[in-house]
A and B are shown apart, each in its own frame.
Chain A
Amino acid sequence: MSKPSAFQRVEGEEIMAMGNSSCQGCGHATLARIAFKVLGKNTVYTSVPGCIWIALQGSIPLYWRGTVFEGGGALISGITNGLEAVGKDMIVVGFYGDGGTADIGLQAMSAAAERNENVLWICADNEAYMNTGGQRSGLTPKYASTTTTPVASESRGKKSNKKNVPFIMAAHNIPYVATASIAYPNDLIGKLEYAKGIKGFKYIHVQSPCPTGWGFDPARTIKVARLMVESGIWPLYEVTEGNNFKITYKPRELKPVREALSLQGRFRHLDDSEYEYIQGQAVDRWRQLLDIDGKKLPI
């Protein structure tokens, strides 16, 4: 018999139904399947507009409510307080995309975190507004070609860097902040289980590659996700009890970013200097994280 997969090792019932409305090879489906199996049935989940709403709609037979794009933080706050007021103990989770988290949703999320509402926020980050056809977001990385930052004679893709939302959330001093990737299910499962077991605001930021928007073969979603981690572009770490920082996965050696980026159509135009910029950034970031690994972040 072959070894059970990480997913099979999760105790509990499979909640996600067969078939869903996401694109072929969408990372969100993998994320949702894992997340709901860990969270279990006593869960109310919520959506704001975005791919993750569409990906889950119809395939997660649990209690659900959606709201306006900018309202995710307020909705989960209202639900968790309402449930408590009527004496029900349920897990309240928001599955929100990069817009609903980092851009239009940032204000209400920050306020909910500041109040330390008892909720779990999962950012399903596909690094652009994919649901409306791949426009840039605050979580789109520099130089990525999107439909609003197209590469042409006068443009090299997105002009600015990706917003560091996990650190913004860590600055709220909440009980739990983590990054995760769909290519590292053990890591993701452990983080979900930890978050499930504690009270207060929990934030898990999951990178979820998008074959449609990033421009790669849908069969390679996991491979792309893994290379983004192994090259140091998307490091996996967590911040517990407000400020204990810990890297949760350390590649023995960082792979060149070119290995990860060359698979993605959105970076097809990169020249050597641009590769160098991204490479330098990945290495610097990794060194900085190693410096603070196992230490306390400033309060």
Chain B
Amino acid sequence: MPHTELMVGNKAVAYGAKLARVQVISAYPITPQTTIVQYLAEFIANGEMKAKFIEVESELSAMVAVQGASFAGARVFTATSGPGLFFMHHPMMEGADLPVVMSVVHRSNKSMQPDHTDLMAQRDNGWIQLYCEDNQEALDTALMSYKIAEDPRLSTPTVFGIDGYILSYTAEPVEIPDQSAVDEWLPPLKAPWAPDIHLPVQEWKKRQGRMYGNQKAWIDHDAKFRSSLGVIKEVHDDFKKTFGRGYGNGLIDEHNCDGAEAVIIAMGTIASTARVVIDDLRAEGKKVGLVKLKCYRPFPIDDIKALAKKYHAIGVIDRNVSLGGGGNVLNETRSAIYDMAERPKVLGFHTGMAGDEVTTGMIKRIAEKTLRAVTEPVSTAVEWVGGA
């Protein structure tokens, strides 16, 4: 029987890797990720988990080591935070053909507290990016990540993020599925690309997923990567059917949007706070809903377009900034709907940067301004909320 335990986000992530029967782990300590690998080292040390742990000397080596193990045919896991993630950039770019799964515990570049600038700086790598709002979602997303990454149509690395401190060190009740149920849902990795002495090398070479060469290689890679949106939805539906929990359609989650005229888009733990705010506003009769963006890469363009058809204003909350370029989610949302004949207004809000607290009051102001934009012109389309 599945059972529920009170656990911090980092432990939920570690449980996810354990339940997935990861075979090789490699990671380097960095706050606030460190305890994930400490939990895993403990599971291995006390015999609860059978996996090899490569104790590397850097994040870069952690990434290359799990890529090597994945190439050899093993199911792998690594984890890091902000600066460690930046150090992984080079091999992340290089090894985008292997189904490595990583957890990122978001850490800002300006404090040890979270914002999403760390993971968004890796947006062009060809890694599927999923964001989590609570500890249960962290565990569930870990499991889904393996099924997505290892899908034979994809074999694409997948990273999921949890907000540092807010989730990593905060205990919440988490339901742990039965190992047998997970085993049935997530069978061992099949790795046709792995070295095999019984396979003629010419045949093996055909199975290599590396996409190297000319512009055609980029075109093919982009097409394959975009196709992962369908796989993510499929895997999510399957997960929901099997374990009874779901997160919207796996890409976005519309919360209390029925009859809404405007919506706000939020990611990670801000979405969690926003649920409360939106429920209160709806109770007051204000027609504004919440859309949680779970999948940032590939960007779910069709889902965003569908929102644009239904709602007259969209307020995008970015817990990130592309310095000199604006909010990443704002820019991509606007870009996604630009070709539509009738477009809603799209407003942008930067908030919660460097882990600054995002209060219900702040989200309320954001939601109300977005709703106001349905009927009246707003003076500033993009603003920073808080931090003054």
Most B CB atoms within 10 A — which of A76, A78, A81? Answer: A78
CB contact between A78 and one of B58, B72, B197, B202 (< 8 Å): that residue: B72
Give the nearest-CB partner of A117 in chain B.
B54
- Whole-angstrom CA separation of A83 from B24 in the bound complex: 10
Q: Does B71 contact A (CB under 8 A)?
A: yes
Given contacts A79-B71, A85-B72, A86-B23, contact A71 B61 (CB under 8 A): yes
- Whole-angstrom CA separation of A78 from B71 in the bound complex: 8
CB contact between A111 and one of B56, B71, B72, B191 (< 8 Å): that residue: B56
Q: Is the CB of B64 within 8 A of A82?
A: no
Task: Knowing that A78-B70, A81-B65, A83-B72 touch, tell me 19 more A-B residue pairs with CB under 8 angstroms.
Answer: A61-B202, A62-B201, A67-B64, A67-B91, A71-B61, A74-B26, A74-B62, A74-B68, A75-B64, A77-B65, A78-B66, A78-B68, A78-B76, A79-B68, A85-B52, A90-B195, A107-B61, A108-B60, A111-B56
How many Å from the CB of A100 to the closest CB on chain B?
12
Give the nearest-CB partner of A114 in chain B.
B57
Give the nearest-CB partner of B51 in chain A.
A85
Q: Does B69 contact A (CB under 8 A)?
A: yes
How many Å from the CB of B251 to the closest CB on chain A?
31
Chain B residues in 8 Å Cβ range of A85: 23-24, 51-52, 69, 72, 74
- Whole-angstrom CA separation of A114 from B73 in the bound complex: 25
CB contact between A108 and one of B61, B74, B90 (< 8 Å): that residue: B61
- Whole-angstrom CA separation of A71 from B91 in the bound complex: 8
Q: Does B55 contact A (CB under 8 A)?
A: yes
Q: Is the interface of A mostly helix, strand, loop or mixed?
A: helix
Given contacts A61-B201, A67-B94, A86-B74, contact A81 B52 (CB under 8 A): yes
- Whole-angstrom CA separation of A68 from B62 in the bound complex: 13
Q: Does A84 contact B (CB under 8 A)?
A: yes
Size category of the binding interface on chain B: 35 or more
Chain B residues in 8 Å Cβ range of A70: 60, 90
How many Å from the CB of A75 to the closest CB on chain B?
4
Chain A residues in 8 Å Cβ range of B191: 86
Give the nearest-CB partner of B69 in chain A.
A82
Q: Does B194 contact A (CB under 8 A)?
A: yes
- Whole-angstrom CA separation of A259 from B273 in the bound complex: 78
Chain B residues in 8 Å Cβ range of A86: 23, 72-74, 191, 194
Q: Is the CB of A42 within 8 A of B197?
A: yes
Give the nearest-CB partner of B75 in chain A.
A85
Q: Does B35 contact A (CB under 8 A)?
A: no
How many Å from the CB of A82 to the closest CB on chain B?
3
How many Å from the CB of A218 to the closest CB on chain B?
30
How many Å from the CB of B97 to the closest CB on chain A?
10
How many Å from the CB of A144 to the closest CB on chain B?
29
Task: Digitize B89-122: 1 where CB-to-A-CB distance is under 8 Å, 0 elsewhere.
Answer: 0110011000000000000000000000000000
How many Å from the CB of A20 to the closest CB on chain B?
16
Chain A residues in 8 Å Cβ range of B24: 78, 81-82, 85
Number of interface residues of A (CB under 8 A): 34
How many Å from the CB of B155 to the closest CB on chain A?
14
Q: Is the CB of A115 within 8 A of B91?
A: no
Q: Does A73 contact B (CB under 8 A)?
A: yes
Q: Please report which residues of chain B, range 34-69, place their CB below 8 angstroms from some CB of chain A when the two chains form the complex.
A: 51-52, 54-58, 60-69
Given contacts A68-B94, A74-B61, A85-B52, contact A63 B201 (CB under 8 A): yes
**A-B pairs, 7 with minimum CB distance:** A78-B68, A82-B72, A82-B69, A63-B195, A74-B64, A74-B61, A71-B64
Most A CB atoms within 10 A — which of B58, B60, B61, B191? Answer: B61
Q: Does A41 contact B (CB under 8 A)?
A: yes
Chain B residues in 8 Å Cβ range of A41: 197
How many Å from the CB of B335 to the closest CB on chain A?
31
Q: Does A287 contact B (CB under 8 A)?
A: no
Given contacts A68-B91, A68-B94, A111-B61, contact A88 B68 (CB under 8 A): no
How many Å from the CB of B114 to the closest CB on chain A?
27
- Whole-angstrom CA separation of A85 from B57 in the bound complex: 21
Give the nearest-CB partner of B65 in chain A.
A78
- Whole-angstrom CA separation of A114 from B66 in the bound complex: 18
- Whole-angstrom CA separation of A80 from B72 in the bound complex: 8
